[in-house]
Structure 1
Amino acid sequence: MASSVPRTLRVVVLPTLHNKSVFHPRFLTPMPNKFEKAAIIGAYVLRKWRYAVSDIFAYHWHAFGSTALQQPHGLAGRVYRWASLATTRRASGEYLLKMIPLQTEKIEFVYPPSSDVGAIKQHLNSHMQASDKHLVSLFLWSLVFPLDFYIAKFFVVAANLLFVYNSFRVVSSFRAVMGARVLKRLVEEGSVEFVPSRDVENDVLEIVNRSGGVVDTVAGDLSDDVVEECERKWRCVELARTYRRARFQYWLHGGKD
């Protein structure tokens, strides 16, 4: 028998630089069957492995950057910014949309009451309006996929890295396209809610007071240790990684999505 309770995706919304918001969807509660539970666990393990590898490179790269930016107009500072601009995608919208499963029947955006809900809605709307670019990305990456596969299989061993990256881009673009369609449908059906949560705000302030972390209310930014503690307290998997990634994008690209 189908449940009368809609399958609800809860999205944590936190402020960041340039009056932007970080949207972090939690995992949708799985149906009581082994396949869906195994799929969610498998996806988490795969992402955990992938991001653990990228975190190693990111740690050393940003350690270099923290030193280089002490003289931002020096050679090291210029190299850091140029290389970061060349390798950092403006993909905050993709991060949100690809985490919206097809089975979602309702979405709740949970945010601190002190945040400007109008700005949150405007930011979300900009992601929806720009969702067509994911369809273009899907087409382009799918177009070169056979060539990447051929080169990786028969000619150059190192080309396997490009093939793997191409595979990730095809899958991510497809998930973002489908997630955007689900979000638009739920908006039209009135199944999207914006929920101010005093608990979220109180937890953030409590963690700041206890840990000595920073909340920059002018720039709208939270320090890493505050977000990491929120992730642990809320059991919100990968919240800190999503926040750091989006914040770095907005810092680097001047608030552009």
Structure 2
Amino acid sequence: MNDVIRLLKSHRSIRKFTDQGIDESVIREIIESAQWASSSSFVQAYSIIGIKDQANKRLLAQLCGEQSYIETCPVFLVFCADLNRLEMACTVHGMKMVGEYTESFIMSTVDAALAAQNAMIAAESLGLGGVYIGGIRNNPEEVSKLLKLPEFVYPVFGICLGYPAQDPGSKPRLPLAVIYKEEFYNNENDLKKIEDYDQKISAYYVERTQGKRSDSWTQQMAEKMQAETRPHMKEYLRNRGFEMK
């Protein structure tokens, strides 16, 4: 196992940080690394907004569902899908952007996600840790106003970054055979493998919480899928210009 693979396999979510700040040069190194992620057709349809102001972090923590680690991390990065500058490119050449199609939404969202993963890996290689924050979509209108997002831009998620003050360990992942299929999709034996995985996850939680938690992966997922999550996003995205025709 080489150093890169070892780093990738050691990922864990960090929610507690030391008081140590992050040098501006380190932040720029992380963002520049994010820029080298693959991008569909070289459109680079994303923007990253760094939040260090304590008042803004406090407000974002509230908007994201009282997630206090946004407030306590030194830097909070918001990754946005961004078609706005593509509209600029069209305007420069006297053209009108046709950007309201579903493919444009997928393209920009994937671009933002790829850049974010590069950023996280770069940060971890420099001794930092972080956690993704999907709660940025809890109150997207308010977040958009706070961050002054123009049309054709929406916040996909955030990342809290800082120097770790905890070592929570890595959660066991699904079996490789469940995730990786050869030649065609086949889930014939997946259920048995997932049931075995349930036992592993349950044991992980028992050990991590000293017996206070023992739920399985399927139990978590079944409960999660009982309610619609963030139903406001469809209308919000349409209002931002992502009509997804």
Length-normalised TM-score, structure 2: 0.26
Indicate the structure whose relative CO is greater, using CA pairs within 8 Å and at least 6 residues apart.
Answer: 1
> Hey, which of these two has a bigger chunk of helix by percent?
1
